[in-house]
């Protein structure tokens, strides 16, 4: 984009403009350029978290294409005779052998593998953190609910693309993961056995699973994800970015810097920064050293058998689940010990996915929201988010219970029991604590507005009393701390309205009113300072 389409005048048009003219005649680019080139984006570090995800996705695509040039998705057994000494002559699948070749015989192959894998971890970390930013600031509210779902789908698809990806080398660790998948599928009532036979092309492990995972990993899932990423970005453009509240920032404007040149330089530059950091990490930190894991064999195993981090919470679910397996009267086995965690996995993720729809059902708010919430101003939502993260973290601990046991000199059994109980208790506790913290912060905001900032200056009054000087807030601060909209708790309509018509609210409406009271009732939020209260205090009669 080195063409300067605007600045130019008489004589023959510069080359760049002629190229642009050519393109405009066929694509009609000027209309779009006029609208978008100077499109304003607000500036905040937390708005760049999604960009980390986007860029690591691009890095994964680039390095992934390179890896496919050398990787052989085949489960044919060969004896290894490459450069890596401690595997000489070992019987392994071609998939594993070609992964060793990429690591030891292709120059730069190891670097590409490591960048690919590190970028995958970062991709999911970034999506997760980005999702949390969107959640806690309420950026998912109308009109962005669909984009929230696109993002959520990207997270889930990213998890499964990662799973199929790290399974491809057919090493002892990832093969164990596939074995787990088979066991999990077998636990599905009625059709599990058939599904497993169809997925593996026969009995486990067979010779089909790696080629099939390969197609899913390099074609199917990335294709869907690419489409979703594009849709996600189009919607970001179309909706215009949300912004944090502040002076001059309203629900009807966007304050920030133009795409060209500031964001082209910043966002474009950020891609190179992310790629650069991941390259340097890959130069210095090993990831998934498949050469020491050995080839997969169904009768071999190593301790510390864990999936990559983003599957860790499902590992925690599986490890903590009690052994519930029953034979039902029809003579069939239901393996709840595996099946329940399998069902809880989408439930844990789904809880956060449907939250925007839940909240809009509670508030019945039909307006568009482009100004972000400060997390404290929506204590119940913030507490729900914190509770969700705590469940996720408890499950992650459960997924790594053997390592926690080693590092903290604890017993695996104890940690498993902690997870079993903590799964239910920790989120409740975290919910309550977070909510209280938010209310406390709201109260402090209110105090700051009404009584000013504590300056730390101690003043002695004529009669000897010491007081701390409070400095009134500047108007920007006053505006920031009072700009948020506070919902009123919903109420049930009176049993008989003024026309004498009886009203019978349904059970769902009653539930909604109760939840709304929890959100916005006396215990759900601290009323913000009103101008009247402020004036009264400022006029000098504000004893209270």
Partner 1 sequence: MSSQTGSHKDVSEKHLPSAQDSTAVAEVDENPFADPGIPHHEPRVQDIDERAAKRSERTVAMFFIVSMLATIAFIASFVAFPVDKIFYLFPLGHISALNFSLGLSLGIALFCIGAGAVHWSRTLMSGEEHVQERHPIAASPETKAAAIEEFSQGAADSGLGRRKLIRNTMIGALALVPLSGVVLLRDLGPLPEDKLRRTMWKKGLRLINQNTGEPLRPEDITVGSLVFAKPDGLEDDSHEFMHEIAKAALMLVRLEPKDIKDKQELDWSHEGIVAYSKICTHVGCPVSLYEQQTHHVLCPCHQSTFDLTDGARVIFGPAGHPLPQLNINVNNDGELVAEGDFAEPVGPSFWERG
Partner 2 sequence: MKKLSARRRHPLAAIVVLLFALAATGGLYAAFAPAGEAKAEKSNQSLDIKEGKKLYAVGCNSCHGTGGQGTSDGPSLVGVGAAAVDFQVGTGRMPMQAPGVQAPAKPAVYNNEETRQLAAYVASLGAGPTVPGKEQYSTEGLDNEEIAAGGDLFRQNCAQCHNFTGEGGALTKGKYAPGLDGVSPKHIYEAMETGPQNMPAFPDTVMPEKEKRQIIAYLEKVNSSESESPGGFGLGGFGPVSEGMFAWTIVLAILIGITVWIAARNAKARKS
> Do residues 115 and 123 lie in contact, with contact meaning Cβ atoms separated by under 8 Å?
no
**CA 268, chain centre distance (Å):** 22
Contact flag: residue 85 with partner 2 (CB under 8 A):
yes
| Alpha carbons within 13 A on the beta-carbon side of 49 | 16
Q: Which of the residues 453 through 512 are near partner 2 (CB under 8 A)?
A: none
Residue 492 beta carbon to partner 1: minimum distance, rounded to whole angstroms: 30
Task: Number of residues interacting with partner 1: please give it, by CB under 8 A.
Answer: 147
471-510 residues in contact with partner 1 (CB under 8 A) are 471-476, 478-479, 482-483
Nearest distance, CB of residue 295 and partner 2, angstroms: 9
Residues 239 and 140 sit within 8 Å (Cβ to Cβ): no
- What CA–CA distance (Å, rounded) separates 297 from 328? 34
- Out of 10, 107, 498, 504, the residue judged to bind partner 1 by CB under 8 A: 107
Q: Which of 365, 358, 346 shows the shortest CA–CA distance to 508?
A: 358
By CB under 8 A, residue 194 contacts partner 1: yes
The dihedral built from the CA positions of residue 220, 222, 226 and 231, taken in this order, carries a sign that is: positive
| Antiparallel, parallel or unpaired: β 453-460 and 466-471 | antiparallel
Q: Which stretch binds partner 2 (CB under 8 A): 117-125, 149-157, 216-224, 472-480?
A: 117-125
Write phi, then psi, for 456 (nearest 5 degrees): 85, -5
Distance CA 525, CA 142 (A): 22
Could you tell which of partner 1, partner 2, none binds residue 544, using a CB distance below 5 to 8 A set by kind? partner 1
- If binding is defined by CB under 8 A, does position 105 make contact with partner 2? no
Among 88, 333, 455, 503, which residue interacts with partner 2 (rule: CB under 8 A)? 88
**Strand pairing category for 77-79 and 466-471:** unpaired
Q: Which residues contact 403 (CB under 8 A, 6 or more apart)?
A: 304, 306
d(CA 37, CA 350): 37
Contact 404, 319 (CB under 8 A): no
Of 28, 223, 227, 247, which lies in the binding site for partner 1, with binding defined by CB under 8 A? 247
Residue 71 as a binder of partner 2 (CB under 8 A): the answer is no
Considering beta carbons, is residue 121 or 199 the nearer one to partner 2? 121
Task: Give me the least distance between CB of 392 and partner 2, in Å please.
Answer: 12
CA–CA gap between residue 144 and residue 135 (Å, rounded): 11
Nearest distance from residue 288's CB to partner 1, in Å? 14
90 touches which of partner 2, partner 1, none (CB within 5 to 8 A by kind)? Answer: partner 2
DSSP character for 7?
A: S
Residue in 75, 97, 126, 218 binding partner 2, rule: CB under 8 A = 126
- State which of positions 408-447 bind partner 2 (CB under 8 A): 408-414, 418
For residues 380 and 351, the answer to whether their CB atoms sit within 8 Å is no
- Other beta carbons less than 10 A from residue 465's beta carbon: 8
Q: What is the 8-class DSSP label of residue 459?
A: E
DSSP code of residue 46 = G
Using CB distances below 5 to 8 A depending on partner kind, what does residue 46 bind out of partner 1, partner 2, none?
partner 2
Q: Which of 237, 272, 357, 424 binds partner 1 (CB under 8 A)?
A: 272
In whole angstroms, how large is the CA radius of gyration of the chain?
Answer: 29
Q: Which is nearer to partner 1, 196 or 513 (CB)?
A: 196
Under rule CB under 8 A, which residues in 321-380 are in contact with partner 1? 321-325, 327, 331-335, 337-338, 368, 370
Going by C-alpha positions, the residue among 500, 87, 8 that lies closest to residue 290 is: 87
Q: Which residue, 20 or 348, is less far from partner 2 as judged by CB?
A: 348
- Partners of 325 in the β-ladder: 335
CA-wise closest residue to 521 among 399, 379, 410, 400 = 379
Number of residues that bind partner 2 (CB under 8 A): 76
295 sits near partner 1 (criterion: CB under 8 A): no
In the region spanning residues 295 to 314, those forming contacts with partner 2, defined by CB under 8 A, are: 297, 299-310, 312
Q: Which of residues 299-318 bind partner 1 (CB under 8 A)?
A: 299-305, 315, 318
Site for partner 2 in 363-402 (CB under 8 A): 399-402
φ, ψ at 79 (rounded to 5°) = -95, 130
Report the alpha-carbon distance of residue 273 to residue 55 in Å, rounded. Answer: 10
Residues between 36 and 55 with contacts to partner 2, criterion CB under 8 A: 43-49, 52
Which of the ranges 157-165, 217-225, 386-394, 443-451 carries the binding residues for partner 1, by CB under 8 A?
443-451
CB-side neighbour CA atoms (13 Å) of 214: 19
Stretch that binds partner 1, among 3-11, 63-71, 152-160, 189-197 (CB under 8 A): 189-197
| Binder of residue 447, out of partner 2, partner 1, none (CB less than 5 to 8 A by kind) | partner 1
- Show the site string, 60-99: x = touches partner 1 by CB under 8 A, - = not: -----------------x-----x-------x--------
Q: Which of residues 256-295 bind partner 2 (CB under 8 A)?
A: 266, 269-270, 273-274, 277-278, 281-289, 291-294
Q: Which does 89 bind (CB under 5 to 8 A by kind): partner 1, partner 2, none?
A: partner 2
Of these partners, partner 2, partner 1, none, which one is at the site of residue 30 (CB under 5 to 8 Å by kind)? none
Q: What are phi and psi of 459, to 5 degrees?
A: -120, 140
Binding mask 158-187 for partner 2 (x = CB under 8 A): --------------xx--------------
The dihedrals phi and psi of 191, each to the nearest 5 degrees, come to -110, 0
Interface positions, 202-231, toward partner 1 (CB under 8 A): 202-206, 208
User: What sign does the dihedral 114-120-121-126 (CA atoms) show?
Assistant: positive
Nearer residue to partner 1 within complex by CB, 133 or 319: 319
């Amino acid at each position: 984009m080195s063409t300067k389409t605007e600045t130019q005048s008489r004589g023959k048009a510069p080359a760049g403009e002629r190229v642009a003219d050519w393109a405009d005649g066929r694509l009609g680019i000027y209309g779009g350029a006029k609208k978008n080139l100077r499109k304003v984006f607000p500036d905040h570090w937390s708005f760049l978290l999604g960009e980390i995800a986007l860029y690591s996705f691009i890095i994964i695509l680039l390095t992934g294409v390179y890896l496919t040039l050398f990787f052989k998705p085949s489960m044919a057994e060969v004896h290894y005779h490459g450069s890596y000494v401690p595997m000489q002559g070992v019987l392994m699948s071609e998939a594993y052998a070609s992964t060793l070749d990429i690591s030891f015989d292709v120059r730069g192959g190891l670097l590409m593998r490591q960048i690919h894998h590190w970028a995958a971890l970062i991709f999911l970390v970034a999506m997760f953190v980005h999702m949390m930013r969107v959640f806690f600031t309420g950026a998912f509210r109308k009109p962005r609910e669909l984009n929230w779902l696109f993002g959520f789908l990207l997270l889930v698809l990213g998890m499964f693309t990662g799973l199929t990806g790290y399974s491809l080398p057919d090493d002892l660790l990832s093969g164990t993961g596939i074995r787990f998948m088979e066991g999990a599928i077998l636990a599905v009532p009625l059709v599990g056995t058939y599904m497993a036979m169809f997925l593996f092309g026969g009995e486990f492990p067979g010779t089909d699973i790696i080629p099939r995972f390969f197609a899913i990993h390099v074609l199917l899932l990335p294709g869907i994800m690419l489409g979703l990423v594009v849709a996600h970005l189009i919607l970001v453009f179309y909706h215009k970015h949300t912004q944090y509240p502040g002076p001059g920032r309203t629900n009807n404007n966007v304050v920030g810097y133009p795409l060209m040149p500031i964001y082209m330089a910043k966002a474009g530059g950020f891609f190179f920064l992310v790629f650069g950091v991941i390259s340097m990490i890959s130069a210095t930190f090993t990831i998934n050293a498949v050469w020491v894991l050995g080839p997969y064999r169904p009768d071999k195993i190593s301790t510390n058998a864990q999936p990559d981090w983003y599957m860790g919470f499902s590992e925690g679910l599986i490890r903590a689940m009690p052994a519930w397996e029953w034979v039902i009267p029809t003579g069939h086995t239901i393996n709840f010990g595996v099946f329940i965690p399998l069902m809880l996995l989408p439930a844990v993720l789904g809880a956060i996915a449907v939250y925007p729809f839940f909240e809009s059902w509670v508030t019945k708010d039909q307006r568009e929201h482009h100004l972000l919430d400060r997390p404290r101003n929506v204590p119940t939502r913030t507490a729900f988010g914190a509770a969700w993260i705590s469940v996720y973290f408890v499950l992650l601990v459960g997924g790594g219970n053997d390592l926690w046991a080693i590092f903290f000199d604890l017993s695996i059994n104890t940690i498993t029991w902690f997870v079993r109980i903590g799964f239910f208790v920790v989120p409740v506790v975290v919910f309550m604590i977070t909510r209280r913290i938010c209310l406390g912060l709201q109260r402090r905001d209110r105090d700051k507005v009404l009584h000013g900032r504590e300056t730390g200056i101690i003043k002695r009054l004529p009669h000897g009393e010491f007081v701390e000087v409070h400095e009134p807030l500047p108007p920007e601060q006053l505006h920031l701390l009072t700009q948020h909209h506070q919902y009123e708790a919903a109420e049930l309509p009176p049993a008989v309205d003024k026309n004498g018509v009886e009203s019978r609210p349904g059970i769902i409406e009653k539930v909604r009113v109760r939840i709304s009271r929890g959100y916005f009732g006396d215990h759900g939020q601290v009323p913000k300072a009103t101008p009247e209260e402020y004036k009264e205090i400022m006029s000098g009669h504000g004893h209270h």
